[in-house]
């Protein structure tokens, strides 16, 4: 694997992080990006924090062999276990939890916020902790409703985005939010933006949906990174995975439509 | 990890293989069993053959440190990649594909057989290959219908065994079998026996459902193993996993109800 000079690395447990890459690639049209999906060991969402941390460390060790200017942990389950780390061997390290929590806090007027995520993300409680810390710092109250939605990743990987079965599953998971006067919902897993329309129909138009990719663009705009000058040669989007997966290519085309990117390369980690 | 003398090892990618262990433990009430679930890397069902083979080899290397008389690969995806191996360092090695295919062949009167499985199992096509070889050897014809059912494992792990959503998903996957005059259906993933009643309702009472655990009991009854004598001390069921998982304990209690077993121990592989 040759070096992609000064690229921003986006790491994910598999395929879902492409939604974060998509937002970043569109938000920073001159920047090079390297995406690494750990498809050999996905999903992280049902695994223990210790196992997730081990996998993140192994993947980050590999990413360090490339020429990078920042590492973005796109996976929510992985972000939960590296929450307090802001640098990595001199490189800025970003997780999706803090940008998402900050954007949700700002979007919410009644401070009644819900977060949906995998089992691991919900058990770790990172969004809840961040939102409560934010509220406490301002002497305010916040109500956080956390909902584990383990079937949504498989439904997305099955390709049933607009489907009555997916609608029923979403209704089962989310219908109680209607009674709870929630005004903001964090889509706390990178797969969920692919279900944004269906989620919006269940929770109603009055609820703001927070997208990790959009939150990350907002955070990076304020970050002190050496941006490529306007006259640079065309940027490059490289896709790396740890296992070949037919779903990866199909979903990459769906999520990255309109962007130029190379075929996925398989790397051994 | 101490040695479990002369035990039969049952290896699975995670939790589902407990249905095979359950059949074996009931079929051989005097035998010691060691179950190993690779929960740190589950599921295998969406991964490539090369990655699955690597994981199986690592797990089998660990199992060899115990005192065993046979190794059963309960996972269908893993069985598909070690299909031609019948011994392992002098130990008999069994996969679930051959017993399942043999039982299906025997059960079917019209030789129109369906197999449901994960993406990996269906792509490998091992049941289809075995059934066609069986038919060819007898100069007969067989029609095999193979259906990938990737959502069923997550539905079982969510605990929605008897649920309208699960019924809808099963109907989506299996309703075409009604038109195809199938008389035998191989439940080609260890999770599926937990959905046996619901599967039966979709395909109709005229279709025989083949259970990997029951097929394996039948195969082992004919195997040349050193069985423990009737006067042996009480047998032991040991459960090992590569990651702690709350679902594991809950599903173990559900699947192994009525059997005595120890709490799951976590091992590093």
Please name the residue that has the structure tokens 């179950």: B35
Residue A72: is it exposed, middle or buried by C-beta count within 10 angstroms (0-12/13-18/19+)? buried
| Predicted ipTM of the assembly | 0.87
Whether A41 and B41 have beta carbons less than 8 Å apart is answered as yes
Distances from the Cα of A84 to the Cα of A27, A93, A221, B71, B264, angstroms: 25, 10, 21, 44, 32
**φ, ψ (nearest 5 deg) of residue B72:** -105, 125
- At residue A7 the predicted structure's pLDDT band, cuts being 50, 70 and 90, is very high
A193-203 as b/e, with b when 16 or more CB fall inside 10 Å? bbbeebbeebb
Name the more confident of A199 and B251: A199
Q: Across the interface, do B48 and A155 touch by the CB < 8 Å criterion? A: no
CB within 8 Å of A65: residues ≥ 6 apart: A1, A3
Residue B201 has pLDDT above 80, yes or no: yes
A247-253's contacts with Cβ under 8 Å and 24+ in sequence apart are: A247/A15, A247/A157, A247/B46, A248/A14, A248/A15, A248/A37, A248/A39, A250/A159, A251/A15, A251/A18, A251/A156, A251/A157, A252/A15, A252/A18
SS3 A183: coil
Structure tokens at B128: 């289809």
Q: For the CA atoms of chain B, what is the radius of gyration?
A: 18
Q: Quote the DSSP letter at residue B66.
A: S
Sequence-distant (≥ 6) Cβ neighbours of residue B49 within 8 angstroms: B80, B81, B120, B124
The answer to whether residue A75 is catalytic is yes
Active site residue B266: no
Pairing of strands A87-88, A91-95: antiparallel
Among the listed residues B20, B52, B75, B153, the single catalytic one is B75
Name which of B123, B116, B126, B118 is nearest B186 in CA terms. Answer: B116
Catalytic residue, candidates A75, A104, A174, A202 = A75
Residues A38-56 pLDDT 10s = 999 988 988 888 999 999 9
Residue A123's closest chain B neighbor by CA? B246
| A217 touches A27 (CB < 8 A) | yes
Q: Does B167 touch chain A (CB under 8 A)?
A: no
**Could you read off the pLDDT of A245-259 as tens digits, one per residue?**
777 888 899 999 999
**Measured distance CA(A159)–CA(A250) in Å, rounded:** 9
Mean pLDDT of A202-207: 96
- A155 and B CB contact within 8 Å: yes
pLDDT digits (tens, 9 = 90+) for A113-137: 999 999 889 999 999 999 999 999 9
Mean pLDDT of chain A: 93
Q: Give the mean pLDDT of chain B.
A: 93
**Chain A contact present for B23, CB below 8 A:** no
Beta strands in chain A (DSSP E): 7-12, 33-37, 68-73, 87-88, 91-95, 112-117, 143-148, 184-187, 208-211, 237-241, 265-266
B156 and A CB contact within 8 Å = no
CA-based R_g, chain A, Å: 18
- Of the residues A189, A203, A215, A217, which is catalytic? A189
Residues B168, A169: C-beta atoms closer than 8 Å = no
Q: Token pair for residue A56?
A: 């993140």
Name the pLDDT band for A4 (thresholds 50, 70, 90): very low
* Average pLDDT estimate for A126-151: 97
């Amino acid at each position: 694997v040759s070096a992609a000079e000064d690229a921003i690395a986006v790491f994910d447990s598999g395929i879902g992080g492409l939604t974060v890459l998509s937002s970043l690639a569109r938000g920073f049209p001159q920047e090079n990006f390297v995406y690494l999906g750990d498809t050999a060991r996905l999903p992280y969402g049902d695994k223990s924090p210790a196992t997730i941390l081990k996998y993140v460390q192994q993947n980050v060790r590999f990413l360090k062999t490339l020429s990078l200017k920042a590492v973005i942990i796109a996976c929510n389950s992985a972000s939960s276990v590296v929450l307090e780390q802001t640098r990595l061997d001199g490189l800025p390290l970003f997780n999706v939890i803090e940008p998402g929590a900050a954007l949700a806090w700002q979007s919410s007027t009644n401070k009644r916020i819900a977060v949906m995520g995998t089992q691991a993300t919900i058990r770790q409680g990172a969004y809840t902790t961040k939102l409560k810390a934010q509220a406490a710092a301002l002497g305010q109250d916040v109500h956080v409703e956390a909902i584990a939605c383990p079937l949504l990743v498989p439904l997305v990987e099955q390709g049933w985005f607009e489907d009555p079965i997916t609608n029923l599953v979403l209704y089962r998971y989310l219908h109680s939010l209607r009674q709870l006067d929630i005004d903001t919902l964090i889509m706390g897993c990178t797969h969920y933006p692919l279900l944004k329309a269906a989620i919006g129909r269940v929770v109603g138009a009055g609820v703001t949906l927070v997208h990790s990719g959009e939150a990350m663009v907002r955070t990076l705009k304020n970050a002190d990174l050496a941006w490529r000058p306007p006259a640079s040669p065309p940027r490059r989007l490289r896709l790396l995975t740890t296992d070949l997966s037919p779903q990866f290519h199909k979903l990459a085309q769906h999520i990255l439509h309109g962007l130029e990117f190379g075929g996925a390369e398989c790397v051994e980690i």
